Structure 1
């Protein structure tokens, strides 16, 4: 058997442990951090790297079990049982990921299609809110109905209560959602969240992603309208709720977002953002170099 930085027979166990740690404790720890709101784009990339590394570790565990079963010559009964557990874990993650991606995507698109039809039927256009669909309602709300044919939806009460600059800020926020397809980002995190069994997953990544895309939309609106109109608009819409499957300018940590608008713009934290991007790359690369490379060398030598 080839030697390496880590025993190759331990590769499935190490990868399974990494997958569980990256899917549960690590997201819970990162969710408590305060710095992501300073660099939301970089923080979102880090969250993506974290969840991707967890899935890759889980899939790698199963692949390493299969190859070690063929090429291994020093596996005792205990290791066989542990490897079997790792293989079952991998199959579970893979099956749940594929099922979640299919069912989530299908249900969301069907719901949004019906929602879009209702909006087109019941809404009207108002020159005070260019590009948006107005729904007559006593509640104040605004949201983006995402998709290839997106809709910006705002209630008549919100149009009446918001000043012109505040209304423009809200619409810019929703346009940022539609333009950047933030819905696909959130859907990806939702599918990855569903991939892991209940005992090895955390909602932290999904909740954090939902908040970070709102901050990114805030930043896009702030660049076009200024922080003050957007902040006032968020206060007015703080109690609003948005339908499931949509992205709204309210409903996700409004207090944190309002406080954040008083802080320096993210462009002043470029050095820190660069460090977070490097950490994201390392999160993917380091496990590959330290765990997967010795295993691949071992497999290559056995062929």
Structure 2
């Protein structure tokens, strides 16, 4: 009975204290790629631990070895079946939420991309770039497997010089190359799957900030930090569509301060973070697999 208790405790820690503590720390901003992996590991490990707790509790509640594996007249077996059914329901809800978010996001992006193609002017020099005749400064990208778009407005072109524009375009292309939208989709799906009364914005907000830092780092390497920092200030507060990734969508102060310092280089911190992420996934995975393997062995035996 100790296994389901430990897994349930792990799930609670990974959905409450651990994210809150990590969100208050500044060190993840030094290693955004490793930090994204850690946040993904925390989210996935929490799900695995919760599902594993249900499986382990169901297995430990069922009849003892040597008894029929399921006896409808046994209250213990009925309770075990109910626990397993509830666990399966949680898993189905998670998968449904992920699919719903993916389909809805892609549909919104396609509608917006069609609208942009209708209203905006293609740039003859930069493939995929569309220029909107809009005085509000806008700069964002619309990811897609095929037909991704980078959108800027006339208002943004008026505010940015050539170097700043190059930095913004490099930032948006970094989002498209790395498919940061898929990272955010996973966090959004998990966020949506939880009931509103236990839902937390922490992991999703941190993921949004970290993918912006990753795109900043790519643009910094290609164009230097100053043009991008100036562009972020010039575009601060600019609106962006819900399904888009925008250069100045969030955490402008943090990002400008980060660009003012030396380029981050913390290999040991990154290696340690990746190690923790792997361990977080391995422990609940093995624990979830253990009762399933044992049940198969008992069935064969």
Work out whether the TM-score is over 0.5. yes
- Given that 1:65 and 1:84 are in contact with CA atoms closer than 8 Å, whether structure 2 keeps it comes out as no
Q: Structure 1 pair 71/265, CA: closer, same or farther in 2 (3 Å)? A: farther
Deviation at 1:85, TM superposition (A): 8.4
Structure 2 match to 1:236: 234
Structure 1 residue 263 corresponds to structure 2 residue 261? yes
TM-score of the pair, normalised by structure 1: 0.86
Deviation at 1:124, TM superposition (A): 0.6
* 1:187-226 CA distance string (max 9 Å, x none): 0111122233345442211111111000000001000000
Structure 1 residue 169 corresponds to structure 2 residue 149? no
1:94 to 91, 94, 97: 91
TM-score of the pair, normalised by structure 2: 0.87
Q: Unaligned 5+ residue runs, structure 1?
A: 1-8
2:211 to 206, 210, 213: 213
SS of corresponding position for 1:153: strand
Deviation at 1:296, TM superposition (A): 5.6
Q: Structure 1 pair 67/125, CA: closer, same or farther in 2 (3 Å)? A: same
Moved segments of 4+, more than 6 Å: 77-85
SS of corresponding position for 1:134: strand
Structure 1 match to 2:12: 20
2:121 to 124, 134, 140: 124
Greater length-normalized contact order (CA 8 Å, ≥ 6 residues apart): 1
* 1:13-46 CA distance string (max 9 Å, x none): 3322322321222212211111111000000000
Deviation at 1:251, TM superposition (A): 1.7
Deviation at 1:88, TM superposition (A): 6.4
Structure 1 match to 2:137: 140
Structure 1 residue 58 corresponds to structure 2 residue 50? yes
Q: Structure 1 pair 86/254, CA: closer, same or farther in 2 (3 Å)? A: farther
Q: What is the aligned residue count?
A: 291
Deviation at 1:96, TM superposition (A): 2.0
Query: 2: distance between equivalents of 1:269 and 1:287?
Result: 28
1:29 to 21, 25, 32: 21
1:202 to 176, 200, 203: 200
Structure 2 match to 1:38: 30
* 1:253-298 CA distance string (max 9 Å, x none): 10001101112212x2111111111111111223445x44764675
Deviation at 1:57, TM superposition (A): 1.1
2:108 to 94, 106, 111: 111
* 1:222-269 CA distance string (max 9 Å, x none): 000000000000000012111101000012110001101112212x21
Query: 2: distance between equivalents of 1:81 and 1:19?
Result: 25
Query: 2: distance between equivalents of 1:78 and 1:202?
Result: 37
275-284 vs 293-302, which moves further: 293-302
- Once superposed, what is the RMSD of the aligned Cα atoms? 2.7
Q: Unaligned 5+ residue runs, structure 2?
A: 68-73
